[in-house]
Amino acid sequence: MAKIAFVGLGNMGGPMAANLVKAGHDVSVFDLSAAAVGHAVEAGAHSAESSIAAVEGAEYLITMLPAGVHVSSVMVKKDALLDKVSKDCLVIDSSTIDAATAREMAQEASDRGIQFVDAPVSGGVGGAVAGTLAFMVGGSEEAFAKALPVLECMGKNIFHAGDSGAGQVAKACNNMMLAVLMAGTSEALNMGINNGLDPKVLSEIMSKSSGNNWALQVYNPVPGVMEGVPSSNDYQGGFMVDLMCKDLGLAMDNSQASRSPVPMGSAARGVFNLHQAKGNGGLDFSSVFRLFNRED
pLDDT at residue 295 tops 80: no
Which residues constitute the domain of residue 21?
A: 3-163
Taken as a whole, the chain contains a residue count of 296
CATH number of the domain at 125, please.
Answer: 3.40.50.720
Task: Say yes or no: 25 and 130 in one domain.
Answer: yes
- Torsion angle, alpha carbons of 50, 53, 59, 62, to 10: 0
The catalytically annotated residue of 3, 22, 87, 171 is 171
Say yes or no: 126 and 236 in one domain: no
CA gap 218, 48 in Å, rounded: 37
Interacting residues of 262 by C-beta distance below 8 A, sequence separation 6+: 176, 251, 252, 255
| Domain's final residue, options 102, 137, 163 | 163
Q: Please check whether residues 235 and 154 belong to one and the same domain.
A: no
Do 288 and 176 lie in one domain? The reply is yes
Q: What is the pLDDT of residues 32-71, one digit of tens each?
A: 999 999 999 999 999 999 999 999 999 999 999 999 999 9
| Res 235 pLDDT > 70 | yes
Decide if 259 contacts 190 (C-beta within 8 A).
no
**Do 123 and 256 have their domain in common?**
no
Q: Are residues 104 and 202 in the same domain?
A: no
CATH of the domain at 217: 1.10.1040.10
Task: Note whether 128 and 216 are same-domain residues.
Answer: no
Active-site residue, 3 included: no
290, 280 Cβ separation under 8 angstroms: yes
180-191 pLDDT, tens digit each: 999 999 999 999
Distances, alpha carbon 268 to alpha carbons 93, 206, 219, 265, in Å: 27, 21, 18, 5
Q: Whole-prediction pTM value?
A: 0.91
Q: What's the alpha-carbon Rg for the chain, to the nearest Å?
A: 20
Q: Nearest-5° angle of CA 237, CA 250, CA 252?
A: 120
3-state SS, residue 131: coil
Q: Are residues 132 and 247 in the same domain?
A: no
